[in-house]
Amino acid sequence: MSARVTLTAAATAAIAVLLATALPAAASTGARTFASCVTNDGNACAGYIASGAQFQQITNVAFLRDPVQYSAITNGIGWQDSLRAGTAWDVIVGISNGTSPFGSLYSPAFLVYHNGSLEPGAPETNNAQWCPVGQPCEPASLGGGFPVGDTVTETVTYARTEGTVNVSARDVAGDLFKGFFPVGPGISFGQARIEAGYGSFSPPAGVTRLVRITGAGVTLYNGKKFSLAAWFTHNKELATSNGTGSGTLQASPTDLESGGTAFSVNFEHP
For the segment 187-200, what is each residue's pLDDT rounded down to a tens digit? 999 999 999 999 99
- Is residue 226 included in any domain, yes or no? yes
- What one-character-per-residue DSSP string does 183-235 give? --TT----EEEEEEEESS----SS-EEEEEEEEEEEEETTS-EE-TTSSSEEE
- Domain region containing 210: 9-267
- Residues whose CB is less than 8 angstroms from the CB of residue 120 and which lie 6 or more positions away in sequence, other chains included: none
pLDDT band at 159 (very low <50, low <70, confident <90, very high): very high
> What pLDDT does residue 103 have?
65
- Is residue 2 included in any domain, yes or no? no
Domain count, the chain: 1
Note whether 195 and 92 are within 8 A (CB): no
- 235: CATH: 2.60.120.700
- Is residue 3 included in any domain, yes or no? no
- Is residue 249 included in any domain, yes or no? yes
Pairing of strands 76-85, 55-63: unpaired
Q: Give the integer Cα–Cα distance in Å for 254 and 269.
A: 14
Each residue of 106-141: pLDDT tens digit? 999 999 999 999 987 666 656 899 999 999 999 998
- Residues whose CB is less than 8 angstroms from the CB of residue 215 and which lie 6 or more positions away in sequence, other chains included: 7, 12, 15, 16, 19, 59, 60, 61, 153, 261, 262
- Is residue 117 included in any domain, yes or no? yes
Each residue of 57-80: pLDDT tens digit? 999 999 999 999 999 999 999 999
- Is residue 172 pLDDT above 60, yes or no? yes
- Is residue 4 included in any domain, yes or no? no
**Element holding 9 (H helix, E strand):** helix 9-21
> What pLDDT does residue 208 have?
98
- Is residue 66 included in any domain, yes or no? yes
- Is residue 58 included in any domain, yes or no? yes
Give the sign of the dihedral formed by CA 206, CA 30, CA 87, CA 211: negative
Q: Give the integer Cα–Cα distance in Å for 270 and 250.
A: 8
Its pTM stands at 0.88
